[in-house]
Copies of this chain bind each other. A is one copy, B any other.
Amino acid sequence: MSSFLAFLGFEKDFEDNLSSDIGSSIKLISVKKGEVLQKNGDLKAKGFFVKSGLLRSYTIDNKGKEHIFMFGPEGWIVGDMEFHAGAPAALYIDALEDSEIEVIEPSVVEEFFEKIPLEQLPTEIKRMSNRLLVLQKRIIMLMSASVLERYDDFVQTYPHIVQRVPQRMVASYLGVTPEALSKVKSEHLKG
């Protein structure tokens, strides 16, 4: 049984496939680097379970600048929380590497609720609450930590991601420009 409630929380579950849980409504696709899976404004946002490769979700503000909301390496589920209301998607989602993706239709979530074994529930709940914790921490960092502190925290929390994405995307995730991150890092080395 894979982590399905995790759809809601983008939780990691490395071991198996979603499709073994719920046969219907899940299809496997291959996407190439740069391919867009979901656009801002799309109706009926979907979930994307990453079997291999790397996705990202992001917004584009009214000045055309990208802001990365999250990265999705193997075993993670990338999705837009707007999905549950059937509301238009707030996030873009595209591939940073060639990837194998299982696409989860919103309707499957309902289906899942009727099928979940009870003993599985606490685990799923913990995974969701863990995601809430991650978002809580991100908000606190954005409000109260310096760029350097946020960068150090990111490197420590996601060391594998740092090596796979260009630095300008880390900057985007941290909420600063690539130039600012570059300068802060070089300042740090001198200090």
Contact = CB atoms under 8 A, between A and B. Distances in A.
Complex copy number for this chain: 2
A164 interface: no
Classify chain A's interface size. 35 or more
Nearest to A140: B59
Nearest to A124: B125
B175 A142 contact: yes
Interface in A1-32: 5, 8-9
Contacts of A126: 84
Interface of A: 5, 8-9, 59, 61, 65, 67, 69, 80-82, 84-85, 90, 110, 113, 116, 121-122, 125-126, 128-133, 135-140, 142-145, 175
